[in-house]
Structures are given as C-alpha cells and as structure tokens.
Structure 1
Amino acid sequence: MNEHNDPELTQAPARKALGQHFLFDPNILHRAATAAGPVEGRTVIEVGPGPGGLTRAILKEGVKKLIAVETDPRFASALLEWPEAKDGRLVVIEKDARKVKWEEVLRETGAELPAMMISNLPYNVGTILLIDWLKSGNWRGEMALMFQKEVAERICAAPGTEHYGRLAVLTHAVTRPHIAFTLPPGAFKPPPKVDSAVAVLEPLPEAERFPHLDKLEQVAGAAFGQRRKMLRAALKPFAKKHGLKAEEWLKSLDIDPTARAETLTQAEFRRMASSLAK
C-alpha cells in the first residue's frame, strides 16, 4: 500500500470543539488496530479517523472494507483522495457519527457482518456512541475503542469496585469487556489532560446477551442515582412510578433491600429489568 505523508493533512490542527486528540506513533496505532483481534478479511467501522493514522494501521492489517466516519471536512476530504478510497476498500462518510444509521450504511456498502468497531473516539461523544452500539443488533462484532482512562474503567468495572455503575452494568449485559492498554497524555497531539485507554469489548454469545437493555439502563440509572443509599430508598421513587413498593419488589426478586447498587451483580440487575419488561 502506498505511504501517505500529506503535510496539510497531518498538520491540520485539532479542534477542541470536536474532542480531537490524534495518535501518530505507528507502534501504538498497530496495537490499537489489532487489540480486538485480527481484522484481515473483516469489515471495520472507524469513527473520527482524523489525519488517518489508525486508518492506515487498519488498512495495513488487511481489512476487507473500512468504513470511516468523519465529521470534520478537512480530514474527510483528504481521506477521499487515498487510493483505497478510490478502489472501494475505504469508504469515507462525512457525517456526525451520532446521526449515522449503521445498519443502512452496512447494507449500502455491501459490508460483511459482523462489523468490528475500532476507533480513537472523540472524547465528547464516546460514551454516547458506545451506549448506542451496545443496544444495536447482531451486526456489531468486536470493539476496540479509545476512551479517557476513567471512562474505560467505568465501562469494564466489576461489582464492588470504585468505578462500577450504570455503564458497566450495560456493557456486561451484552459483552465481555477489558482494558487492553493505557496511554499517557504525551502519546497524543495535542495531549489531553488525562490518561487514555483502549477498552476491548467481545460480544457475548447470543444466548447470554440480555435483551431488555432499555429497562436495564433505567433501573441501573435509578439505583446508581443515589448510590450511597440502600436500594429500598434509592429505588423508592422509581418503583412507585411502576406501581411497585420498592422493598416488596426487591424481596420478591431475592434481592436484599438493604444492599447498595454498587454491590449488585449483573444477574440481580437483570432480574429487576426483566420483571419490568413483562
């Protein structure tokens, strides 16, 4: 594959409003591109390619089709000039990723499924996109996503740990997540104020995925909204909205009303959500 070193592309300044922080180190980019497993012969979606460092790393690994979604016209137009864009292996979409209809894009581009998601996500939209992808269908495969380290820790946290909360409950409902590696601010241009980390999320087998994610998100949000309170108090307003008495509801599900949200297992959160989905 041809090497690209377009000064206008690589030197275009990051825009703070778009949450841009760029990676250029080829070793780091290779690790990010392969963190979720081999991409050879696969479809990959990349959000926020920017100058294209990670884009190039993914292409070098033999991806069959790479769909790059970039909202910044400076970078989208430059990527369209790459030979891989002209031969169809690289599909560049200039759009806000939050507005993309992923299944439509995959169908229109003739992509093979499931699609991997590999991205150095813009910090200001990363969590929003992740929740959307967690709720998506079987088109979504393995994910390797760069976040602020604290966000990655919240994604991967286990019950009883400092970072355990709504995001971890949702993530563990459909994937098996772990942090692949962390990076200091100096690895990026411009450097962010905090460390970053790549979180890898492997889809659970279909039979193990929890189907009622909207209900799970609601109950986890209510429980962790007052995380220092016992569940019978934290969930009292939420239960009332559903015509339930919190303590009786929890006992009927074999959940201790005096426990706190941070101690609940995935199975216990699933029991609460399932009871609301009936």
Structure 2
Amino acid sequence: MVDLPPIRDVIQRHGLSASKALGQNFLLDEQLLARIAALPGDLAGEKVLEVGPGPGGLTRALLRAGAKVTAIEMDRRCLPALAELGEAFPGQLTVIEGDALRLDHGALMEGEPFHVLSNLPYNVGTALFVKWLGGEAWPPQWRSLTLMFQREVADRIVASAGADAYGRLAVLGQWRSEARLAMKVHRSAFTPPPKVMSAIVHVTPAAMPEGVSARMLERLTEAAFGQRRKMLRQSLKSVPGALEALAALGIDETRRAETVSVAEFVSVARALGPV
C-alpha cells in the first residue's frame, strides 16, 4: 500500500481550510473513508467520478481500492494536494478544475460506465443528484451513486409516501432506481463540524417503467410538491390533462402530494404521455 501522510498534515502543509462559500467540510478519518469507498463493491479497475475532492481524503481511499478516479474540483487551492496524490498513484487520477454542474460527466468519463462517489458540497448536492437522475436515456452511464448529503436531504431521497420527508426527491430517486440509506455520519467526523448530521445514500439503476417520460414525471412532481399542502386538484391544474388522468386512474383529487405513491405518480405520468 502506498504510504501517505495523514490528511490533517496535508491540509496544514498546504494551508487549506474548508470554505463555507463552497459548502466544504473535510473528512479526515481514513477508516471511515475506506468504508465509504467500499460501499459500491470492488472498485479495482473501475472508473469513478468524484465531485469536490478537496484535499483528497476520499480520493486516496478510492485510489487505494484500485479505482481510476476523475475528480472535479473548483477550488484551485486544493489542486496541489491532489497533484501529489496523482504522483503517488501514477495513471489512476485525473483532476478537472471546473464546476461539476456545468460539465458533461458522460463525456469526461469517455462514454464508459462509471461509479460516482462523493462527499458532495452541501450547496450543490441536490442539484447534482437531480442531474444524475434526470434525462430520458436509461439505464444511465453511471453504475451507482454513493453520495454524502445532509441527513435531512438523505431522508428525503429514501422516504416512502406518507412520511414527513417524502417529496419530489423521493419520486425522482425511486421511480427507476433503488435508493437506500447506506451509512449515517456524525457531524464530529468532519472538519470543521457542520451544524447538521450527514448520511450516505447509495443508488443503483433499476428497470425503467415502460411508456413513461422522465420530463413529464419531473414536471408532474414539480407541480404537485411545489404546492404540497394543497389538494391535487389545485396543485396539478397547471399540468394539462392531469386532473382527467387522476379521475381515469381512480386517484382522489382531494388527496395531497405527500400521500401519492411513486407508482401512482408513474401511472399519471404514463397517462399524460411525453411533454
């Protein structure tokens, strides 16, 4: 195994500090990082995309697991530390300086299958999740998503209908994928400790229901949960044909969005057809 200095020493030597503006919180516990890297299974020889590697804590765990890592980092202060990792693991690490929300991840991974593992910056985590789960093409190029979120966001992704946390993220995360809460992470594991607890969600693609448009489902859930305290007859009246679809499917229009299951949303989207 490649002998590396403790992450804390790397941070001190490069004068790094977590940027609140960039939503950074560094993980220093190498045993914990190794456990996270193991969640998708054997990564030896596998391509991995990591967003926001910072000083490279998770990155080194992925490299030690034998992964070929493409890391997207917009904080150029962290680039020298990542360059050192690249030298320690020749040919395994590619660092891209840029904004992950603006980049074409499929092109970066050269059209080949890949896993995503990331301690996501808090300020872009949800947007990136929606990006990875969106689009009409399915199955996706990614084989799995292993993502660190604030605990409340993680709960929203894995929630069932009727739960307080159930909403748009749950539908988008579950209608053609399997999402589970893989690990809880205490705030004390981070430097600096965030004000909230965190959790890791693991997502794998599942079969896509036939005859359903992803864009229509996204539009439907955006309308339904945009006014989640209102009855469906009010929240969905902006979606042409939605109320008629509810009636045809026997879904009571006086219900609220948080009571409508993923399967029921899929049925409505199928009835409405493509956008």
Task: Please confirm whether the aligned pair reaches a TM-score higher than 0.5, indicating the same fold.
Answer: yes
Partner of 2:93: 90
The change in CA–CA distance for 1:208 and 1:13 in structure 2 (over 3 A counts) is same
Letter in 1 for 2:45: G
Letter in 2 for 1:26: E
Equivalent of residue 178 in structure 1, options 152, 177, 180: 180
Structure 1: state its 5+ residue gaps.
none
Question: Is the Cα–Cα contact under 8 Å of residues 212 and 269 in structure 2 kept in the other structure?
Answer: no
Equivalent of residue 264 in structure 2, options 262, 268, 273: 268
The change in CA–CA distance for 1:209 and 1:3 in structure 2 (over 3 A counts) is farther
Correspondence list, 1:34-73, <5 A: 34-63=38-67, 65-73=68-76
Letter in 1 for 2:264: E
The change in CA–CA distance for 1:13 and 1:23 in structure 2 (over 3 A counts) is same
Partner of 2:107: 104
How far does residue 250 in structure 1 lie from its aligned partner after superposition?
Answer: 1.2
1:95-122 CA-partner distances (Å, limit 9, x unpaired): 1111111121111xxx7x3210000000
The change in CA–CA distance for 1:90 and 1:226 in structure 2 (over 3 A counts) is same
Question: Is the Cα–Cα contact under 8 Å of residues 151 and 196 in structure 2 kept in the other structure?
Answer: yes
3-state SS, counterpart of residue 81 of structure 1: helix
Question: Is the Cα–Cα contact under 8 Å of residues 227 and 260 in structure 1 kept in the other structure?
Answer: yes
Letter in 1 for 2:3: E
How far does residue 274 in structure 1 lie from its aligned partner after superposition?
Answer: 2.3
Structure 2: state its 5+ residue gaps.
none
1:143-173 CA-partner distances (Å, limit 9, x unpaired): 1100000000001111111100011101112
How far does residue 216 in structure 1 lie from its aligned partner after superposition?
Answer: 0.9
Higher mean C-alpha displacement, 8-17 vs 37-46: 8-17
1:152, 1:210 → 2: CA distance? 29
2:100, 2:42 → 1: CA distance? 24
How far does residue 76 in structure 1 lie from its aligned partner after superposition?
Answer: 2.1
Partner of 1:251: 247
1:11-43 CA-partner distances (Å, limit 9, x unpaired): 311111000000010121012111222212211
Question: Is the Cα–Cα contact under 8 Å of residues 225 and 234 in structure 1 kept in the other structure?
Answer: yes
1:75-102 CA-partner distances (Å, limit 9, x unpaired): 1232123345773211111111111111
1:78 equivalent in alignment to 2:81: yes
Partner of 1:2: 2
Identity %: 45
Question: Is the Cα–Cα contact under 8 Å of residues 173 and 209 in structure 1 kept in the other structure?
Answer: no
Question: Is the Cα–Cα contact under 8 Å of residues 20 and 123 in structure 1 kept in the other structure?
Answer: yes
The change in CA–CA distance for 1:211 and 1:101 in structure 2 (over 3 A counts) is farther
Partner of 2:229: 228
Letter in 2 for 1:222: A
TM-score normalised to structure 2 length: 0.90
3-state SS, counterpart of residue 3 of structure 1: coil
The CA RMSD measured in Å over matched residues stands at: 2.1
Equivalenced residue count is 267
The change in CA–CA distance for 1:7 and 1:21 in structure 2 (over 3 A counts) is closer
1:218, 1:37 → 2: CA distance? 34
The change in CA–CA distance for 1:231 and 1:76 in structure 2 (over 3 A counts) is same
How far does residue 209 in structure 1 lie from its aligned partner after superposition?
Answer: 7.7
Question: Is the Cα–Cα contact under 8 Å of residues 48 and 71 in structure 1 kept in the other structure?
Answer: yes
1:207-256 CA-partner distances (Å, limit 9, x unpaired): 548852221111111111222222112222x13xx2x472x331013322
Equivalent of residue 162 in structure 1, options 157, 160, 164: 164
Question: Is the Cα–Cα contact under 8 Å of residues 174 and 209 in structure 1 kept in the other structure?
Answer: no
How far does residue 275 in structure 1 lie from its aligned partner after superposition?
Answer: 2.9
Partner of 1:141: 143
Letter in 2 for 1:52: G
TM-score normalised to structure 1 length: 0.89
Higher mean C-alpha displacement, 177-186 vs 221-230: 221-230
Regions of 4+ moved over 4 Å: 83-86, 207-211
1:233, 1:135 → 2: CA distance? 26
The change in CA–CA distance for 1:38 and 1:229 in structure 2 (over 3 A counts) is same
Letter in 1 for 2:80: S
Higher mean C-alpha displacement, 78-87 vs 166-175: 78-87
